[in-house]
């Protein structure tokens, strides 16, 4: 059982649609990160959220950290084919010594 559960596992949508990816846990995290990984490459950091209730926007991407610091979401508005990739959430507990990763959401945006 993974500490961070991501859903959905797969998402295939048309260009222009909106989508939300969820990252949930029963544990409280001090911070949570979202990464995107393209085929043949390593993950690249999109954002780090550290405050409960925090909302961060990165162009068409909106990230939210839950009030209780147990969950996070990534919302993409008007998805584009360039958004295609694997999205991973990663959390750090308060007694940090390592990061915990979710299982990932594979997004495919069709033109």
DSSP, residue by residue, 11-70: EEEETT--EEEEEE-SS--SEEEEEEE-TTS--EEEEEE-STT-EEEETTEEEEE-TTSS
1 binds other proteins (CB under 8 A): no
Pairing of strands 10-14, 105-110: parallel
Residues 23-62 as x/- pattern, contact with other proteins by CB under 8 A: ------xxx-x-x----xxxxxx--x-x------------
6 binds other proteins (CB under 8 A): yes
The site for other proteins, by CB under 8 A, has a size of: 30
Residue 4: count of CB within 10 angstroms of its CB: 23
- The reply on whether position 72 binds other proteins by CB under 8 A is no
Give CA–CA dist 84/10, Å, rounded. Answer: 11
DSSP state of 79: -
- Please identify, using beta-carbon distances, which residue of 77 and 103 lies nearer to other proteins: 103
Q: Which of 9, 14, 26, 59 binds other proteins (CB under 8 A)?
A: 9
Contact 25, 71 (CB under 8 A): yes
Q: Is 74 in the site for other proteins (CB under 8 A)?
A: no
Applying CB under 8 A, the residues found at the interface with other proteins are: 2, 4, 6, 9, 29-31, 33, 35, 40-45, 48, 50, 88, 90-93, 96-99, 101-104
């Amino acid at each position: 059982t993974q500490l961070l559960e991501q859903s959905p596992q797969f998402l295939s949508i048309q260009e222009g649609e909106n989508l939300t990816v969820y990252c949930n846990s029963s544990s409280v995290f001090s911070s949570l990160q979202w990464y995107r990984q393209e085929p043949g490459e390593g993950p690249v950091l999109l954002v780090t959220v550290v405050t409960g209730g925090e909302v961060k926007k990165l162009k068409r991407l909106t990230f939210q950290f839950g009030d209780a610091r147990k969950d996070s979401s990534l919302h993409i508005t008007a998805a584009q084919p360039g958004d295609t990739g694997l999205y991973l959430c990663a959390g750090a507990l308060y007694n940090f010594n390592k990061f915990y990763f979710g299982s990932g959401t594979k997004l495919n945006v069709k033109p």
